[in-house]
């Protein structure tokens, strides 16, 4: 009989269907519902409803690919490792970097959203200044919130998941109450044609709204795939959690946008939608302002409480996802081994602590909620773009492995989803994209240093991962010389760029460019033997029951 005391700690499969679903749903329903509708309305007017519908349609294909990948390869930190399985080191580095950059920033963004909302009610707290940045007092409170997230995550994945499930009952109930009571007490149908008509800024305004909070709000469905390595029955539960949370969030956000448009004071939007609350501070708490204006003071108090619980729950879940990503990156030697250290509770303790501390640095004055959302939307869209490539590549290089869920029409959905991801990156704006590029270069330098000090690093799989380079560089060039969406005409190295592709021509050009990169990536993937070896390595830290399921065995 083996000595169990000699078995190193491993991740534990303790998360059932409901907690797993709530983890994804809890990531989707966060600060986006508190602040997203306002930003979307300013950009698109009443047509912001279409923005949410387009956002859901654009992302559902990506959600379906994650459902297939997560159920077929149920490993922790999956968004960082799905690409590594079929591209090896280079592609895995880029996918992992974008995954980590978007995930590590979500928890601090959610904390900042909470403090911004609460400060709008009690300005005497002095948590946020007039520029939307945290004050010294706000910074202290924000850091304490991050340490609370770390403590709950360190208690174990079961505690985190079950705690999030309890919070989710509240997080779903409050938006539903808000929709019902505000519509019942204050709804002006004339608002849907006010301020220049239903679509005052044209279709371009509808697209501009996407990176200003719409896409950000709908993101998070992939969190079930991040925790698939700790799911009790990943082959059944991951697809349900990923797709179900996406559909729930889309339906809820569209209803909230309709409520917002109908409830604002008609006098404030009679001429335009730039100031839906006039000169008031409704931008700090839009639904609170609507509730109190409708005489629903009790609902206003509930919304203030929810401004802490809803983003807080999302931040809690994303810190868990962030730690699994850095754990996964360490397993493939992109990060030092200490990031993959598991404690007796079965959690990657160092990755949790590092993610929390790293997130605290993002509270420094980089910009308010809306500015941070634009940058994170670009990072998330880059991360999402790797999933369709992985789904097709793994079907071809690993065809005989059992797939509990298969995306119908993947041959059509995958390339479209890849192009959609590129368009969302493009719509995020040049400033956000250049900042993201610089962050990737920084991580690339760190990775180069890691390779120099660790001679045991695997060779760089250049051919299989080189598609990432033209993909990133090409979208940056399109963003610089294409149409202006966010922030007007870009300035690059002090030079104002005024030449740009006409509207629609830019979208068509990016779509064609995306398809070229997509099929190039598919045709340069790793072969079956390497892919199967990578699958086995990806679950080398699995429990015996994983091996019994054939997850880590040759197909």
Secondary structure of residue 491 in the 3-state scheme: strand
Round to whole Å and give the CA distance between 139 and 364: 8
Structure token pair of residue 35:
């602040």
- Are 12 and 263 in contact by the 8 Å Cβ rule? The answer is no
* pLDDT of 417 over the 70 cut: yes
What is the predicted pLDDT for the residue at 159? 64
Higher pLDDT, 84 or 27: 84
Structure token pair of residue 123:
């300005």
Q: Give me the chain's average pLDDT, please.
A: 82
What is the predicted pLDDT for the residue at 487? 53
Average pLDDT rounded to a whole number, residues 33-58:
88
Secondary structure of residue 41 in the 3-state scheme: helix
Contacts 24+ apart (CB under 8 A), 434-438: 434/476, 434/479, 434/492, 435/375, 436/101, 436/375, 436/378, 436/379, 436/382, 437/472, 437/476
DSSP line for 426-465: HHT-HHHHHHHHHHHHHHHHHHHHHHHH-TTPPPP-HHHH
- Are 80 and 329 in contact by the 8 Å Cβ rule? The answer is yes
Average pLDDT rounded to a whole number, residues 101-114:
85
- Are 324 and 33 in contact by the 8 Å Cβ rule? The answer is no
Half-sphere exposure of 396 (CA within 13 A, CB side): 18
Average pLDDT rounded to a whole number, residues 500-527:
91
What is the predicted pLDDT for the residue at 548? 41
Please list, in sequence order, all residues whose beta carbon lies within 8 angstroms of the beta carbon of residue 526, skipping any fewer than 6 positions away. 86, 87, 88, 397, 461, 464, 534
Structure token pair of residue 386:
């790797």
Residue with tokens 């591209």: 87
Listed residue (423, 522, 534) closest to 82, CA to CA: 534
Question: Of how many residues is the chain composed?
Answer: 555
What is the predicted pLDDT for the residue at 133? 79
Higher pLDDT, 502 or 422: 422
Round to whole Å and give the CA distance between 143 and 334: 28
What is the predicted pLDDT for the residue at 366? 60
pLDDT digits (tens, 9 = 90+) for 425-468: 998 888 888 888 988 998 888 788 878 877 777 788 899 999 99
Secondary structure of residue 216 in the 3-state scheme: helix
Q: What are phi and psi of 366, to 5 degrees?
A: -90, -10
What is the predicted pLDDT for the residue at 410? 95
Secondary structure of residue 18 in the 3-state scheme: helix
- Hey, what domains does the chain have and what are their CATH numbers? 12-548 (1.20.1740.10)
- Are 525 and 396 in contact by the 8 Å Cβ rule? The answer is yes
What is the predicted pLDDT for the residue at 552? 45
What is the predicted pLDDT for the residue at 412? 95
pLDDT digits (tens, 9 = 90+) for 237-287: 888 888 899 899 999 999 999 999 999 999 999 888 988 887 655 445 688
Round to whole Å and give the CA distance between 490 and 493: 10
Q: What percent of the chain has pLDDT over 70?
A: 86
Taking CA atoms, 431 is separated from 127, 372, 436, 438, 485, in Å, by 27, 11, 9, 11, 11
Q: Can you say whether residue 71 is alpha, beta or left, with left for phi > 0 and alpha for psi between -120 and 50 degrees?
A: alpha
Round to whole Å and give the CA distance between 307 and 237: 29
Distance of CA 377 to the CA centre of its chain: 7
pLDDT digits (tens, 9 = 90+) for 146-203: 998 888 888 876 666 666 677 778 888 999 999 999 999 999 999 999 988 999 999 8
Secondary structure of residue 25 in the 3-state scheme: helix
Return the bridge partners of 374, or none. Answer: none
Listed residue (107, 137, 144, 106) closest to 119, CA to CA: 137
Secondary structure of residue 408 in the 3-state scheme: coil
Higher pLDDT, 230 or 46: 46
Listed residue (176, 153, 173, 83) closest to 390, CA to CA: 83
Half-sphere exposure of 535 (CA within 13 A, CB side): 27
Lowest mean pLDDT among 259-263, 391-395, 403-407: 403-407
pLDDT-based confidence at residue 1 (cuts at 50, 70, 90)? very low
* pLDDT of 94 over the 90 cut: yes
pLDDT digits (tens, 9 = 90+) for 295-352: 998 998 898 888 888 877 778 778 887 888 888 788 777 777 888 888 877 778 899 8
Q: CA torsion sign, 9 to 14 to 20 to 23?
A: negative
Structure token pair of residue 325:
């990503």
Taking CA atoms, 106 is separated from 32, 210, 390, in Å, by 11, 17, 24
Return the bridge partners of 494, or none. Answer: none
β-pairing, 491-492 vs 495-496, is antiparallel
Average pLDDT rounded to a whole number, residues 75-92:
87
Number of H helices, E strands in the chain: 22, 2
Mark 92-101 as b/e (b = at least 16 C-beta within 10 Å).
bbbbbbbbbb
Round to whole Å and give the CA distance between 264 and 354: 43
Round to whole Å and give the CA distance between 77 and 329: 8
Rounded to the nearest 10°, the torsion over CA 522, 524, 529, 533 is: -80
Taking CA atoms, 137 is separated from 119, 129, 321, 417, in Å, by 11, 11, 28, 43
Q: Is 36 exposed, middle or buried (0-12, 13-18, 19+ CB in 10 A)?
A: buried
* pLDDT of 544 over the 60 cut: no
């Amino acid at each position: 009989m083996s000595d169990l005391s000699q078995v190193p700690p491993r991740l534990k499969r303790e998360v059932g269907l409901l907690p797993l679903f709530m983890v994804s749903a809890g990531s989707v329903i966060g600060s986006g519902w508190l602040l997203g509708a306002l930003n979307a309305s300013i950009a698109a007017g009443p047509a912001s409803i279409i923005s949410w519908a387009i956002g859901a349609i654009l992302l559902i294909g990506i959600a379906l690919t994650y459902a297939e990948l997560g159920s077929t390869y149920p490993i922790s930190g999956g968004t960082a490792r799905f690409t590594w399985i079929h591209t090896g080191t280079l592609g895995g580095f880029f996918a992992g970097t974008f995954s980590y950059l978007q995930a590590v920033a979500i928890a601090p963004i959610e904390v900042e959203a909470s403090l911004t909302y609460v400060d709008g009610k009690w300005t005497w707290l002095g948590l946020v200044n007039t520029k939307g940045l945290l004050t010294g007092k706000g910074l202290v409170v924000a850091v304490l919130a991050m340490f609370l997230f770390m403590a709950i995550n360190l208690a174990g994945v079961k505690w985190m998941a079950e705690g999030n499930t309890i919070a989710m009952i509240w997080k779903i109930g409050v938006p539903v109450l808000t929709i019902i009571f505000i519509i019942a007490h204050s709804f002006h149908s004339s608002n849907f044609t006010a301020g220049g008509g239903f679509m005052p800024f044209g279709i371009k305004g509808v697209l501009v709204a996407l990176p200003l909070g719409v896409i950000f709000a709908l993101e998070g469905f992939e969190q079930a795939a991040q925790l698939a390595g700790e799911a009790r029955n990943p082959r059944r539960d991951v697809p349900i959690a990923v797709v179900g949370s996406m559909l729930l969030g889309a339906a809820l956000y569209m209803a909230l946008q309709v409520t917002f448009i109908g409830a604002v004071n008609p006098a404030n939007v009679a001429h335009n939608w730039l100031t839906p609350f006039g000169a008031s501070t409704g931008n700090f708490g839009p639904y609170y302002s609507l509730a109190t204006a409708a005489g629903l003071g009790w609902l206003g108090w509930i919304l203030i409480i929810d401004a802490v619980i809803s983003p807080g729950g999302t931040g809690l879940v994303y810190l868990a996802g962030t730690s699994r990503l850095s754990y996964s990156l360490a397993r493939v030697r992109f990060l030092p081994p200490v990031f993959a250290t598991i404690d007796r509770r079965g959690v990657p303790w160092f990755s949790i602590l590092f993610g929390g501390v790293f997130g605290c640095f993002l509270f420094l004055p980089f910009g308010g909620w809306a500015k941070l959302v634009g940058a994170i939307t670009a990072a998330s869209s880059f991360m999402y773009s790797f999933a369709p490539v992985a789904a097709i590549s793994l079907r071809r290089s690993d065809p005989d492995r059992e797939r509990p869920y298969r995306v119908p029409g993947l041959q059509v959905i995958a390339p479209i989803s890849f192009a959609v991801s590129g368009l969302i990156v493009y719509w995020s704006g040049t400033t956000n994209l250049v900042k993201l590029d610089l962050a990737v270069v920084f991580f690339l330098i760190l990775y180069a240093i890691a390779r120099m000090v660790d001679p045991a690093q695997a060779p760089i799989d250049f051919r299989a991962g080189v598609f990432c380079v033209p993909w990133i560089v090409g979208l940056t060039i399109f963003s610089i010389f294409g149409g202006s969406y966010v922030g007007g005409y870009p300035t690059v190295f002090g030079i104002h760029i005024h030449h740009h592709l006409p509207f629609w021509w830019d979208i068509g050009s990016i779509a064609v460019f995306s398809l070229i990169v997509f099929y190039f990536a598919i045709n340069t993937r790793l072969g079956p033997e390497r892919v199967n070896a990578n699958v086995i390595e990806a679950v080398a830290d699995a429990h015996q029951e994983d091996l019994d399921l054939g997850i880590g065995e040759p197909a």
